[in-house]
């Protein structure tokens, strides 16, 4: 057994050396890697007032133009091409909206954030041509997480902060870690995305198990120190979903009919339970029943924000009120990833985002590695909860980086399956 294991490891080592010799990352990919890291540190690192992430974005764009000036740009798969077209459409749609809304600071800030995030999405989609490229760029997000965790442990130990903490946060949350984020909910959301990044890396490489486990434990510890409810509940749901979807994927591979029966039963039970609950309780009554005295006002505010966002969406003829306008409409950010997009950008963009998350849920149809499959599937239900914590999860660059990584991972494996057929 020992000899066989040694021979296998030796053979894997040979293959690893060969593959490493073949892997070559372009200058654009290295710049993009730095952009991903900088996007995790943009709150504190700047040069003459210009955020490092903006500087790396300009460098990435310049290198991409130089390296592809005389070459035809190759898009890896048809699915990635659709993904790129959707975000191009989103850019032009938001630009059109800007022509018809009151030009205010919120609109300009939200629009510029959207433009930068779309640029990062485009660069990721255009520069990942293989799983090796995906692994390389994903490690940029892991590096950003690791740096933030070191900062968080320093904050917990010393009671100091690298960033400037607002007066309101000094009163209520000064003892909590912020990393390089100006808001603890933003930091908690980023940590959740970082944990998914770690699991994604292990699912793709099956290496660095000890580092992955230790970093996840450290991330969970910091998450508990922040005590942001939605990210904590979201990661619990992510863990439960990993187990549940693993069982369902196994059933799918054994027999599709069994998979369909079990899936239908779970869906039926969920719908039945939801119907019974909401037939007997309103949202306000559920909040009063389940929330704690310390959180009840915050939870009731979230319900009013939901109602306001839906009302704004309907009153705009389902076309959206425009970038940043939900803040003017409600007096505060929606605090919901999905509803903010729905309210501000309307049915077309919201529908596209929903289709992306449905794409994640349907990944079981393709022969991806089991852990990778459940890692991607579990992101949809988990982010439904995680996305209601931050005042603007859609402006956090790591959100779109992670969504792009998961989408591209599926499309590359799908392409491999089609080639095999």
Average pLDDT for 304-327:
94
Give yes or no for residue 12 having a pLDDT over 50.
no
Reading phi first (left if > 0) and then psi (alpha if -120 to 50, else beta), residue 48 is in left
Helix (H) or strand (E) holding 119: helix 105-127
Neighbours of 216 (CB within 10 A): 17
Q: What is residue 44's predicted lDDT score, i.e. its pLDDT?
A: 67
Q: Is residue 316 part of a domain?
A: yes
Q: What is the mean pLDDT of the chain?
A: 87
Q: What is the pTM of this model?
A: 0.90
Q: What is residue 188's predicted lDDT score, i.e. its pLDDT?
A: 94
The proportion of the chain whose per-residue pLDDT surpasses 90, expressed as a percent, equals 60
Q: Is residue 285 part of a domain?
A: yes
Q: pLDDT: is 165 or 58 the higher one?
A: 58
- Interval 40-72: pLDDT, tens: 886 667 777 788 888 899 999 999 999 887 777
Helix (H) or strand (E) holding 348: helix 337-361
Residue 56: partners with Cβ closer than 8 Å, 6 or more residues away: 31, 34, 35, 38
| C-alpha span between 72 and 410 (Å, rounded) | 24
Q: Is residue 1 part of a domain?
A: no
pLDDT band at residue 416 using 50, 70 and 90 as cut-offs = confident
Cβ pair 234, 379 in contact under 8 A: no
Give yes or no for residue 291 having a pLDDT over 90.
no
Q: What is residue 1's predicted lDDT score, i.e. its pLDDT?
A: 31
Q: What is residue 50's predicted lDDT score, i.e. its pLDDT?
A: 80
Q: At CA 269, angle to CA 264 and CA 270, rounded to 5?
A: 100
Q: Which two tokens stand for residue 113?
A: 């954030």
Q: Is residue 265 part of a domain?
A: yes
Q: Is residue 90 part of a domain?
A: yes
Give yes or no for residue 16 having a pLDDT over 60.
no
Average pLDDT for 18-29:
71
pLDDT band at residue 128 using 50, 70 and 90 as cut-offs = very high
Q: Which two tokens stand for residue 295?
A: 């959180």
| C-alpha span between 215 and 217 (Å, rounded) | 5
Q: Which domain holds residue 261?
A: 26-420
Q: Is residue 101 part of a domain?
A: yes
Domain count, the chain: 1
Angle (deg, nearest 10), helices 209-226 and 229-254 = 140
Neighbours of 268 (CB within 10 A): 10
Q: Is residue 2 part of a domain?
A: no
Q: Is residue 62 part of a domain?
A: yes
Q: What is residue 333's predicted lDDT score, i.e. its pLDDT?
A: 87
- Interval 130-157: pLDDT, tens: 999 999 999 999 999 999 999 999 999 9
């Amino acid at each position: 057994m020992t000899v066989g294991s040694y021979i296998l490891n030796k053979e894997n080592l040979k293959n690893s050396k060969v593959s490493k010799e073949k892997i070559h990352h372009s200058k654009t990919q290295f710049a993009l890697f730095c952009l991903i890291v900088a996007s995790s540190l943009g709150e504190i690192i700047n040069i003459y007032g210009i955020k490092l992430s903006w500087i790396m974005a300009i460098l990435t764009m310049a290198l991409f133009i130089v390296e592809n000036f005389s070459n035809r740009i190759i898009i890896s798969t048809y699915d990635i091409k659709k993904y790129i077209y959707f975000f191009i459409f989103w850019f032009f749609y938001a630009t059109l909206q800007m022509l018809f809304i009151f030009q205010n600071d919120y609109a300009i800030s939200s629009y510029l954030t959207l433009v930068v995030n779309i640029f990062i999405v485009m660069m990721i989609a255009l520069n990942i041509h293989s799983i090796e490229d995906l692994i390389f760029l994903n490690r940029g997000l892991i590096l950003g997480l690791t740096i933030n965790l070191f900062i968080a442990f320093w904050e917990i130990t010393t009671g100091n902060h690298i960033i400037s903490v607002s007066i309101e946060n000094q009163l209520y949350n000064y003892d909590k870690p912020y990393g390089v984020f100006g808001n603890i909910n933003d930091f908690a959301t980023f940590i959740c995305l970082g944990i998914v990044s770690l699991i994604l890396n292990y699912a793709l490489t099956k290496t660095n198990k000890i580092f992955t486990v230790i970093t996840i434990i450290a991330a969970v510890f910091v998450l508990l120190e922040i005590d942001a409810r939605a990210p904590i509940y979201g990661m619990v749901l992510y863990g439960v979903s990993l187990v549940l979807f693993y069982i369902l994927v196994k059933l799918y591979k054994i027999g599709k009919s069994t998979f369909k029966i079990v899936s239908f039963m779970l869906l039926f039970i969920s719908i039945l339970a939801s119907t019974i609950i909401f037939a007997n309780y309103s949202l306000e009554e559920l909040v009063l029943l389940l929330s704690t005295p310390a959180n009840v006002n915050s939870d009731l505010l979230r319900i009013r924000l939901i109602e306001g966002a839906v009302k704004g969406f309907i009153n705009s003829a389902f076309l959206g009120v425009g970038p940043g306008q939900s803040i003017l409409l409600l007096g505060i950010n929606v605090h919901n990833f999905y509803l903010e997009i729905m309210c501000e950008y309307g049915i077309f963009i919201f529908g596209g985002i929903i289709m992306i998350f449905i794409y994640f849920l349907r990944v079981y149809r393709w022969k991806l590695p089991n852990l990778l499959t459940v890692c991607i599937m579990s992101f949809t239900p988990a982010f439904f909860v995680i996305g209601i914590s931050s005042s603007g999860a859609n402006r956090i660059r790591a959100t779109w980086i992670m969504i792009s990584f998961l989408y591209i991972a599926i499309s590359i494996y799908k392409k491999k399956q089609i080639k095999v057929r």
